[in-house]
Amino acid sequence: DSGVTQTPKHLITATGQRVTLRCSPRSGDLSVYWYQQSLDQGLQFLIQYYNGEERAKGNILERFSAQQFPDLHSELNLSSLELGDSALYFCASSPGEDEQYFGPGTRLTVT
């Protein structure tokens, strides 16, 4: 158990819908990262927040957005969902610059 929690574990929704994925980092970790794991793209970095501020952006679609709240938990919002958005979404947190600890992931299925 890495100490990073993600909810929900599974999510099934229809195309065109919007969902919110939630992540609680390890106690004391200020940085939160979001990654997407799909069969065709592999593991891809989406976005990073540090203490509430966006720090880095990767291959995140405009339909996706994220935020980090004052209590340091983070949410990833996915809207206008398409079949290709079906994937595992991981959150990771880190205490500093080196280690990133991953949560168990949220499996999103878009039908």
- Which residue in 11, 19, 29, 48 binds other proteins (CB under 8 A)? 48
Quote the CA–CA distance of 81 and 85 in Å, as a whole number. Answer: 6
Q: Tell me the CA end-to-end span of the chain in Å, nearest whole number.
A: 31
Tally Cβ neighbours within 10 Å of residue 53.
9
- Which residue in 8, 43, 77, 84 binds other proteins (CB under 8 A)? 43
Q: Which is nearer to other proteins, 20 or 38 (CB)?
A: 38
Residues 86-105 as x/- pattern, contact with other proteins by CB under 8 A: ----x-x-x--xxxxxxxxx
Q: Is residue 8 reached through a cis peptide bond, with omega within 30 degrees of 0 on the bond before it?
A: yes
Tell whether residue 42 is a contact of other proteins (CB under 8 A).
yes
